[in-house]
Amino acid sequence: MAKQNGIKKAANRVVIREMEVSNDPVLTNCVEQVDSFLKAKRNLDKAKASYQTALDDVVKPARYEYVKRGGTKDHTKSVDLAGSTSDVKVTFSDKFKELPANDDLKKSAGGSFDKYFMPTRKIELQKTDDETIGELIEALGPDKFQDIFKIKLTYKTKPGFDRDQFSAPVTVRNLAEQYAPQVKVIKK
């Protein structure tokens, strides 16, 4: 069997060598394949847009119910929606997106900001050459640290915010952007 594969590979190499090479930067003998690809891509783009609209339409009533139940003993992260052939379960995430740090953000939440948000920092190396790494290992002073590192300050919700969000002031809840909920089809 290995021999047959070797023969096929050799035959393919011969065929490839015998193919005519074009100097034209655009291949013109693939029009049918390109047209088929472009049609499929347009259909995919339309389907994605249609799917996103349908997803938004399903999440909207689920989010309303999720918020309405929030802070009650009936609170759950999942909301089931009935369909004619299958049901859908919308599960909201307990994770929230990071917010850019700025003074207006803190002011908009009033005095509740520090109760629900904590600062996070991401440090990126701007210089990564061996000499810089050696200097970092040896010892850093404040001036050198600022020269080498770029610091980005953001805020993220504190652990447990997914449970506490409904007791937080509306101004705080409006700041915290939850990650997209998960939507599953539940077969009947």
Written as six digits, the tokens of 60 are 């909207």
The mean of the pLDDT values for the chain is 82
For residue 173, being part of any structural domain is answered with yes
Q: Is 150 exposed, middle or buried (0-12, 13-18, 19+ CB in 10 A)?
A: exposed
Q: Tell me whether residue 175 is exposed, middle or buried, using C-beta atoms within 10 angstroms of its C-beta: 0 to 12, 13 to 18, 19 or more.
A: buried
Specify whether the CB–CB gap between 170 and 67 falls below 8 A: no
**Residue 74 covered by a domain:** no
Q: Considering the domain boundaries, does residue 37 fall inside one?
A: no
Does a structural domain hold residue 168?
A: yes
List, in sequence order, every residue forming a beta bridge with 121; answer none if it has no partner: 153
How do residues 145-163 score in pLDDT, each as one tens digit? 778 877 788 889 999 998 8
Both tokens assigned to 58:
């399903």
Element (H, E) at 147: helix 142-148
**Is 57 inside a domain boundary?**
no
**Could you tell me what percent of the chain has a pLDDT over 70?**
86
The tally of domains found in the chain comes to 1
| 166 inside domain | yes
Domain for residue 54, yes or no?
no
Quick: pLDDT tens for 87-132.
Answer: 999 999 989 999 888 888 888 888 888 899 999 988 888 887 888 8
Range of the structural domain that residue 115 is part of: 99-179
